[in-house]
A and B are shown apart, each in its own frame.
Chain A
Amino acid sequence: MASAIEVRGLVKRYGPLAAVAGIDFSVPTGAVFAFLGPNGAGKTTTTEILEGLRRRTDGTVRVLGLDPWEEGRPLHRRIGVIPQDFRFFEKITPKEAIEYYRTLFHTRADPGALLAEVELLDKIDARFDTLSGGQKQKLGLALALTNDPEICFLDEPTTGLDPHARRAIWAVIRKLKREGRTVFLTTHYLEEAELLADQVAIIHRGRIIAAGTPGEIIRAHGYPARLSVEGSAELAAYLGRELHVPVYAEGSRVEVELSDRRDALRILSAIEASGLPWQSFETRQDSLENVFVRLVGQMDEGALKSEAPG
């Protein structure tokens, strides 16, 4: 499948500071790509370069085969962008805003249908300055869809929204994917990336420190899954002797590393065979959030300073 976005050796410097220090990635057509990173990591700078809003210092960038800075006009007809903290003319209603965009883009988008899609139909005639944060963001989303875009860029679309509004935005993102559009999403909610994204890249201090599907990243950088039961240190010692795998006693819990799911039965049998009291078993998988926090934390401690990007 052709790439919707191709980035090679992208660098953006502000004076001596490199906000983006040489990154490579590509986004397949039709995928939901989540770009993760702490604040100030270079997420927004990269996104704006892809959107043609910022000039890059070095590297090559192709979005739908176009150079975003040099070929912004033809590109903008084919992409939709919802910036962080979307703002619009205060006294204009969602209906008028979509009619305005419709004229500018020469499309036949129907304001009612677009607003229904983002669950904003009840505010079709409300002025922008009376909308809540979530409603404003939904209008931004509706406007970004006015030109029937091939790629949608969403820069932290759910930051600061209540859980209900976040779910409404997620539903729209899933629908965009079903419609075959490519979605480029930045977020610092890991849960959001895990739920929605086909591909994830984690950027920190201008470099990509992990990339792949959420599962791949967790397998590569996360702790192995563990089976955990409530039990004594005695039980931990017994299991260590019997199973020849790492066993940890943490507080009142005993945890056994699960390198393969099928080991679970063998471990549970051994626990039962010990004759010692135990209860409430669970398996624990490292989450993308844990991996993210650990990776960023390690890098901040300097442990990963020399690790190659990618």
Chain B
Amino acid sequence: MNVRHIAADFRIVARSYFRNPLALFFSLIFPIILIGLFGLIFSSASSGPIALQVLNEDHNSPLSVQFLAELNQTHVVQVDVVNDASVTPATFATWLGQNDHSVGLVIPAGFAANLSANRSVNLTVYSNPQDAASAGQVYFAVTGVANGYNLEAAHGTVLIQVPPPQNVGSQVLTYIDFLIPGLIGFSILTSPMFSMVDVTSSYRKEGIFRQLSLTPLTRSEWLVSRILWYVLLTFVSAGIMIAAGIYLFSAHVGVTLGMLPFLVAGPFLFVSLGMFAGSVTKTPESAALIGNIITFPMMFLSGTFFPVSSFPPGLQAFAHVLPLYYVIDGLNQVMLFSNTGLAYTDLAVVLLSGVVIFALAVRFFKWRDE
């Protein structure tokens, strides 16, 4: 491995890239467009009242009905009382998930009786972490109405307690916060995959690899120079996406050093995978097909746009065999939850599969024919 060879090849890659407007567009402008598009679609600022599923265990006592009516009057939520008798507080969370509801509220049994007796009660708010914007607003509305009751009560003691919504971390996260790690993962996957599959198969067809095989450049040097290039590109595009998310949509993602290993290991994995896919196929057309077969499921099923936890169990299991899942999960852990422990596991999976695929790529990637 000769550093000067890698540097010389790196300059060739960089120059080719900067002179190709389309490649630059997809690496640098496209991420901003994605952030803007998804940010606008999913930012809740413009939406009307949020549908709030309410499980009223107090059997429609007058006080609970009045509480819900006041909740409706906030115009933040639209109360939707669950009439399905089979739903219990224990199964409510599952039921919400199965029926695609993102927020729910449980009014406990004895709500009216306890309030009348000046005993405190707990209202439980359920929310989908990925729809945290709604969760935040619902929580705000519920505590607001509850405070009214608390003030009315004698001595101003807190009677209705609303614990923070379940499943949400220390801060209220919005969809855009989840979108940023997802889209960083998206570009870690797509940028090297599409280009490496194409480059590997067309360079072989055009004889450029044969040309290079006649120089002292080795296959590993060639691959390392590509990996370095895509690591650089990933740093730039991740920076752009984070900046766009923060300035355009007030995202609160943590920019930590913990991201760096993923921004290196991710491109390492997918540059190798792209080259592998381009090497095992005979023509550029079949390479593109294989590339798409590998890329597209991963693009959507690894938690890029939608959380894997919202998938049906079978699809969740499938997501767990996709290497991109671990890149995105790791980025989520370090950027959103400051959970370095879980991120280590993710990083280990990414690195291990990267090493295996790198070795396979170098093994199957031939400069010259037999």
A:90-125 near B, CB below 8 Å:
90-92, 96, 99-101, 103-106
Task: Report whether A101 and B12 are in contact in the complex, using a CB–CB cutoff of 8 Å.
Answer: no
> Shortest distance in angstroms between A101's beta carbon and chain B's nearest beta carbon?
6
In the complex, what residues of B have CB within 8 A of residue A88's CB?
208, 211
Interface-centre pick from A76, A87, A105 (highest chain B CB count, 10 A): A87
Given known pairs A88-B208, A90-B16, A92-B12, the reply for A73 and B369 (CB within 8 Å) is no
Instruction: Report A125-183 residues with CB < 8 Å from chain B CB.
Output: 127
| Residues of chain B contacted by A48 (CB below 8 angstroms) | 369
A100: chain B residues within 8 A (beta carbon): 8-9, 11-12
Q: Residue A53 at the B interface, CB < 8 A?
A: yes
Smallest distance from the beta carbon of B53 to chain A beta carbons, Å? 57
> In the bound complex, what is the Cα–Cα distance between A83 and B367 (angstroms)?
14
Q: A90-B16, A91-B16, A100-B12 are in contact. Are A76 and B216 (CB under 8 A)?
A: yes
As a 0/1 sequence over residues 101 to 116 of chain B, the CB contacts with chain A under 8 angstroms (1 = contact) are 0000000000000000
Nearest chain B residue, comparing its CB with the CB of A99:
B8
**CB of B91 within 8 A of chain A?**
no
Bound form: Cα–Cα A106–B206 in Å: 26
Once the chains are docked, how many angstroms separate the CA of A85 from the CA of B210? 12
Docked Cα-Cα span, A79 to B210, in Å, equals 14
A104 contact from B19, B210, B215, B370, Cβ within 8 A? B215
* Interfacial chain B residues near A81, Cβ < 8 Å: 214
- In the complex, per-residue mask of B213-226: 1 if CB is within 8 Å of any chain A CB, else 0: 11111000000000
* Alpha-carbon distance A53/B370, docked complex (angstroms): 8
The reply to whether B16 and A54 form a contact with Cβ atoms under 8 Å apart is no
* Residues of A contacting B217 in the complex (Cβ-Cβ under 8 angstroms): 104
A8 at the interface (CB under 8 A from B): no
**Residue of A76, A85, A88, A104 with highest tally of chain B CB at under 10 A:** A104
Indicate if the CB atoms of B207 and A85 lie closer than 8 Å. Answer: yes
Task: Evaluate contact between B208 and A96: CB separation under 8 angstroms.
Answer: no
How far does the Cβ of A209 sit from chain B's closest Cβ, in whole Å? 26
Asked if B155 is at the interface (CB within 8 A of a chain A CB), the reply is no
Q: Which of B171-228 touch A at CB < 8 Å?
A: 206-208, 210-211, 213-217
Looking at B8, B19, B214, B370, the one whose CB has the most chain A CB atoms below 10 A away is: B214
Q: Which residues of A contact B215 (CB under 8 A)?
A: 76, 101, 104-105
Distance, CA A264 to CA B216, complexed state (A):
59
User: B225 to chain A: closest CB distance in Å?
Assistant: 11
Is B86 an interface residue, CB under 8 A from the partner? no
- Asked if B256 CB lies within 8 Å of chain A CBs, one says no
CA separation between A54 and B368, bound complex, in Å? 7
Question: What string of 1s and 0s marks CB contacts (under 8 Å) between A226-245 and chain B?
Answer: 00000000000000000000
Q: Is A294 an interface residue (CB 8 A)?
A: no
Interface flags, B15-36, vs A, CB<8A=1, else 0 = 1100110000000000000000
When the two chains form their complex, are residues A91 and B20 in contact, meaning their CB atoms are under 8 A apart? yes
Which single member of B11, B208, B216, B370 contacts A87 (CB below 8 Å)?
B208
- Among B80-131, those with CB < 8 Å from A are none
B252 within 8 A of A: no
- CB distance A53 to B206 under 8 Å? no
Known interface pairs A76-B216, A104-B217; A89-B5 also in contact (CB < 8 Å):
no
Per-residue CB contact flags for chain A residues 187-212 toward chain B (1 = under 8 Å, else 0) read 00000000000000000000000000
Across the interface, A91 reaches (CB within 8 A) one of B4, B15, B207, namely B15
Give the interface size bracket for B toward A.
20 to 34
| With known contacts A83-B211, A87-B207, A103–B5 Cβ distance under 8 A | yes
Return B356 CB to nearest CB of chain A, in Å: 27
* Nearest chain B CB to A2 CB, angstrom units: 23
**CA–CA, A97 and B325, complex, Å:** 40
- Residues of B31-81 at the interface with A, using a CB-CB cut-off of 8 Å, are none
> Using a CB-CB cutoff of 8 Å, which residues 48-66 of chain A contact chain B?
48, 51-55
Chain B 345-370: CB-based contact to A (< 8 A → 1; otherwise 0)? 00000000000000000000000111
Point out the residues of chain A lying under 8 angstroms from B16, CB to CB: 89-92
Question: B213: which A residues are within 8 A, CB to CB?
Answer: 53, 72, 76
A143 to chain B, nearest CB (A): 8
Picked from B4, B5, B19, B207, the residue with its CB within 8 Å of the CB of A127 is B19
Interface presence of A284 (CB below 8 A):
no
Do B211 and A87 have beta carbons less than 8 Å apart?
yes
CA distance A88 to B336 in the complex (A): 45
Per the bound structure, the CA–CA distance linking A79 and B215 in Å amounts to 10
Q: How far is the CB of A166 from chain B (nearest CB, A)?
A: 21
Knowing A51-B214, A53-B213, A88-B208, say if A96 contacts B15 (CB, 8 Å). yes
CA gap between A101 and B206 in the complex, in Å? 18
- What distance in Å separates the Cβ of A299 from its nearest Cβ neighbour in chain B? 28
A55 to chain B, nearest CB (A): 5
Find out whether the CB atom of A73 lies under 8 angstroms from the CB atom of B216. yes
Contact call B15/A76, Cβ cutoff below 8 A? no
B15 A87 Cβ-Cβ under 8 A: no
Identify the closest chain B residue to A127 (Cβ).
Answer: B19
Please report the C-alpha to C-alpha distance between residue A76 and residue B212 in the assembled complex, in whole angstroms.
10
Q: Inside 8 A of A89's CB, which chain B residues have their CB?
A: 12, 16, 208
Selected contact of B8 from candidates A83, A103, A127, CB within 8 Å: A103
Other than the given A83-B207, A101-B215, A105-B215, 14 more pairs (CB < 8 A) read A53-B369, A54-B368, A77-B216, A81-B214, A83-B211, A86-B211, A87-B206, A87-B207, A96-B12, A100-B12, A103-B5, A103-B7, A104-B8, A106-B216
B binding-site residues for A, Cβ under 8 Å: 4-5, 7-9, 11-12, 15-16, 19-20, 206-208, 210-211, 213-217, 368-370
Contacts A/B (CB < 8 Å), 26 sampled = A48-B369, A53-B213, A53-B368, A53-B369, A55-B370, A73-B216, A76-B213, A76-B215, A79-B214, A83-B210, A85-B207, A87-B206, A87-B207, A87-B208, A87-B211, A88-B211, A89-B12, A91-B16, A92-B12, A96-B15, A99-B8, A100-B11, A100-B12, A103-B5, A104-B5, A104-B217
A interface residues with partner B (beta carbon < 8 Å): 48, 51-55, 72-73, 76-77, 79, 81, 83, 85-92, 96, 99-101, 103-106, 127
The list of the 6 closest CB pairs from A to B, nearest first, reads A91-B19, A103-B8, A87-B206, A104-B215, A91-B16, A53-B368
